[in-house]
Structure formats: structure tokens, C-alpha cells
Amino acid sequence: MLLEFLRLKRTYRNISRIRQIVNVFLKHGFGQFIEQLNLQRLVPFRKRLKVLGAPPELAGHSIPERLRLAFEELGPSFIKLAQVLASRPDLITKPFADEFKKLQDEVPAFPFHHVRQTIKEDLGLSPEELFESIDETPIAAASIAQVHYATLKDGTPVVIKVQRPDIGDMIETDIIILKAISSRMVKYIPETEFFNPTGIVEEFSKTIRKELDFTEEGKNACRFRRNFSKHPHIFIPS
């Protein structure tokens, strides 16, 4: 069933991630949804007996609130998807959109040795060779990347943005899984077709891949700087 569900190679990452997603949805009271998609066999038999209804500790939470908590627990891809959906109350209704707007893209920082390794792998030189100094404590940390103050060898102050380790692979795995889930929604829950879940996931995949492309982000910054180069109150560094 796993191979049929994903249509990709059986790897530890893929299988464990599918099971994690299913278990998180069960934990937050979406057992009926899991059964409708015929995914209950991805969890141990003892858990299948408890898939219907919300757990007692979640009895006071609304369905939109429980879904927001599930997405939050599942990490970057699902948080980004929820943020995309939050802008479409016409598709998901206002209660869900309002709940998804509460999701924050702030997470604990990853260790500086990963920053050092990424810089060396991508630029071919160590941080010490490229910068006069670099602050090991990030000024901001989000689900995809974090930002550090640094100073170039000529004394120019800069900020550097470094992606989280393996975030690209993690998001690609989640995109494949989300595409499979959205297809099964249309197949097994026909009433969901009106808000086009497969189209939403496809659009989301394009958006998040662009966000992972820092080269494209740099081009956008250059374009923004050119457009406002003569504005007296806006300065965009080169």
C-alpha cells in the first residue's frame, strides 16, 4: 500500500514521514479523515480501534483549531501550506482561514556548525576566509532558513541567510505526500473537489520551491532596488 500510495522508492525517510503525518492527524482527532482516505493501515492495529472522534483532551477545541495544531506539529511544509490557505477564506471558509493566520513561522535556531558547513560547501571557503566577522547568534530563525549579521573583509556590514540542513529534501518529500493525499481526497471524498485540493497543492509546491531558491530571491531584491533607486525615502543595499 505504501508504494501504491506514494509511487516512489521505499525509503526510511518516506515511510516514517507518511506514518508521522497519519499519526499526527489521528492525535488531533482526524481519524475519520484517515479512514476516508483508506490510510488507517499505516498505523498499528491497536491504534486503528481509536481513530474515530477527538481525544478527550481536545474536546474543547474546534475542528479548525485542531487542524491548525496538527499543521503546526508537522513542521515547515504544512505551516507554509496553512499560510497559503489562510489567504483563501473563499475556499476553506473564514473559521479555518482565521485559525491558520495564527501560525507563526518562528522556530528554534539550528547550530552554527551547520551554518559553517553550508557556507563552505556552497561557496568553497570557510566563514573566516570570507568574512572579517560573523555573529554566531542568528537575528532571526524561521522554518526554512536563519539570518546572521556579518562583516566583509573590507568592513562592509552584511546579513547572510542560510537554509536549514536538508530542508530541501524534507520539503520535496512532503510535496510528494501532499500530492498523494490531495489526489485521494478527490477520489474518496468527492465533496472536497469543489475547492480543488490537487490544484492548491500544485500551486503551493511552486511557491515553496521559489522560496527555497535564494538565487531567485536575490534577483527579486535587485529588481526591487532598481525600481526604487530614485525614491528619496527608501534605500535598498546592493
The DSSP string of 38-55 is T-GGGS-HHHHTT-SS--
pLDDT of res. 143: 86
132 sits in which H/E element: strand 131-134
Asked if 192 and 119 sit in the same domain, the reply is no
Residue 237 lies in a domain: no
Residue with the bigger pLDDT between 54 and 203: it is 203
Residue 58 half-sphere exposure toward CB, CA atoms < 13 A: 19
Asked if 27 and 67 sit in the same domain, the reply is yes
Residue 92 lies in a domain: yes
Asked if 182 and 123 sit in the same domain, the reply is no
What single-letter DSSP state applies at residue 230? T
Asked if 50 and 128 sit in the same domain, the reply is no
Asked if 158 and 177 sit in the same domain, the reply is no
Residue 236 lies in a domain: no
Asked if 50 and 142 sit in the same domain, the reply is no
Asked if 83 and 173 sit in the same domain, the reply is yes
Distance CA 11, CA 46 (A): 25
Residue 25 lies in a domain: yes
Beta bridge partners of 158: 150
Asked if 51 and 117 sit in the same domain, the reply is no
Asked if 42 and 138 sit in the same domain, the reply is no
Long-range contacts of 103-106 (CB under 8 A, 24+ apart): 103/68, 103/71, 103/72, 103/79, 105/79, 105/80, 105/142, 105/143, 106/140, 106/141, 106/142
CA distances for 169 relative to 43, 174, 189, angstroms = 24, 9, 29
Q: What is the mean pLDDT of the chain?
A: 87
Q: And the C-alpha cell for 199?
A: 490544484
Residue 34 lies in a domain: yes
pLDDT of res. 104: 78
Residue 219 lies in a domain: no
Task: Please say if the pLDDT value at position 49 is more than 70.
Answer: no
Pick from 8-22, 40-54, 69-83, 216-230 the range whose average pLDDT is largest.
Answer: 69-83
Say if CB 126 and CB 114 are below 8 A apart. Answer: no
**Residues contacting 110, CB < 8 A, separation 6+:** 141, 146, 164, 165
Asked if 93 and 126 sit in the same domain, the reply is no
Structural domain containing residue 123: 112-164
Residue 41 lies in a domain: yes
When pLDDT is cut at 50, 70 and 90, the band that residue 229 belongs to is: confident
Asked if 88 and 185 sit in the same domain, the reply is yes
Asked if 134 and 18 sit in the same domain, the reply is no
Count up the domains in the chain and report the number: 2
Residue 232 lies in a domain: no
